[in-house]
């Protein structure tokens, strides 16, 4: 007689250990049972009328699939938003910017024909000079009527004009810049790609058309002259043009007249006038307009009274009241005449000097 676990008829003959041995490798553990898609009802549940023998279990991965679908939708929305914002607010990347050209500059000393006129006070000199009707300070740098161009809006043109005016004021009218004590006010609004050239010009001045500090700003040799009057006379104009669809250019042409005394002199020392005409071309791309910075393309400076023999690249070294030069240029040049073309060293026209 078989044991409690054997079939009533005993173990079938010829079997290698019976059915138990045959299915011994099949293990129906708890995880297998829970994962089954079909589940048999209990005895109590089967007693109900028309109850099916089994019921279908909900798939365990349906919640996970729903989460993956939601995640995919969110990723698609984020990607679409990024593309839209990129197209709507497309700024030029730094790597795609056009290379900024180095500033090209020309410094032309204007030599007096005789002794430099002087007077006891600046007002008397200004009243008897061509600068008598000039405005004082920034008032002499009016902005033209702003207008949009083919590729730049009215607001962009206004931004460019006001930035140029700011640079002119900082580089030509600030007392600390004029006396050589500071350069930071002008440097602060230069395009970053021109800072190396600017810094090299200050560290190693050279009359090479690239590295003269006086091509960037007006500065007098502090050992030679000082301001006698901070009310600098100014007259000039600003012109707007498009270089191309991506570049706006502004040309600034201004004449500045300074009243100077010898460095270290008493308050009653004679005053003389010094004239500087600056014609500077500025350039703006979209990044410059956004950051309110400027690129200087060309700078042409005529200044006098100076000596042709002196070096005017690092500082302007004025000839003051009562002084005269020993050498001059080939022809007279009047910085008040905007259509004049000077030589590398010119002679200051008599009409440009005050009548004392």
pLDDT tens figures, 248-290: 999 999 999 999 999 988 888 999 999 999 999 999 999 999 9
Check residue 295 and give its pLDDT.
97
Check residue 135 and give its pLDDT.
97
Sign of the CA dihedral running 184, 189, 193, 198: negative
Number of alpha carbons in the 13 Å side-chain half-sphere of residue 208: 9
Beta pairing class for 295-304 and 332-333: unpaired
Residue stretches of the chain with pLDDT short of 70: 1-64, 83-98, 327-334, 337-343
Check residue 82 and give its pLDDT.
73
What are the pLDDT digits (tens) for 279-317? 999 999 999 999 999 999 999 999 999 998 888 999 999
Check residue 338 and give its pLDDT.
60
Tokens representing 289 are 């307009």
CA distance 70 to 265: 82
Show Cβ contacts of residue 139 under 8 Å, excluding neighbours closer than 6 positions.
234
């Amino acid at each position: 007689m078989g044991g409690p676990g054997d079939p009533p008829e005993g173990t079938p003959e010829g079997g290698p250990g019976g059915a138990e041995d045959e299915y011994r490798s099949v293990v129906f553990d708890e995880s297998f049972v829970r994962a089954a898609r079909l589940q048999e009802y209990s005895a109590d549940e089967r007693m109900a009328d028309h109850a099916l023998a089994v019921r279908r279990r909900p798939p365990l991965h349906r919640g996970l699939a729903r989460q993956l679908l939601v995640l995919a939708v969110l990723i698609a929305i984020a990607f679409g938003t990024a593309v839209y914002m990129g197209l709507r607010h497309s700024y030029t990347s730094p790597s795609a910017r056009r290379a900024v050209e180095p500033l090209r500059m020309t410094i032309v000393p204007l030599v007096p024909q005789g002794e430099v006129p002087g007077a006891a006070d600046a007002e008397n000199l200004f009243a008897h000079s061509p600068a008598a009707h000039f405005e004082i300070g920034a008032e002499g740098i009016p902005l033209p009527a702003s207008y949009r161009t083919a590729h730049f809006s009215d607001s962009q043109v206004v931004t460019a004009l006001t930035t140029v005016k700011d640079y002119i004021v900082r580089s030509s009218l600030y007392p600390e810049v004029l006396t050589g004590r500071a350069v930071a006010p002008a440097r602060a609004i230069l395009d970053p790609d021109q800072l190396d050239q600017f810094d090299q010009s200050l560290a190693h001045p050279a009359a090479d058309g690239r590295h003269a500090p006086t091509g960037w700003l007006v500065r007098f040799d502090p050992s030679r002259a000082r301001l006698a009057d901070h009310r600098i006379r100014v007259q000039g104009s600003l012109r707007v043009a498009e270089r191309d669809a991506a570049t706006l250019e502004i040309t600034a042409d201004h004449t500045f007249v300074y009243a100077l005394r010898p460095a270290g002199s008493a308050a009653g020392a004679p005053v003389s006038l010094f004239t500087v005409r600056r014609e500077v071309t500025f350039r703006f791309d979209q990044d410059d307009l956004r950051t309110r910075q400027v690129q200087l393309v060309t700078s042409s400076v005529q200044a006098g009274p100076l000596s042709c023999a002196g070096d005017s690249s690092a500082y302007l070294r004025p000839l003051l009241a009562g002084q005269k030069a020993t050498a001059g240029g080939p022809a007279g040049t009047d910085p008040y005449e905007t259509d004049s073309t000077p030589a590398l060293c010119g002679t200051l026209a008599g009409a440009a000097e005050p009548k004392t």
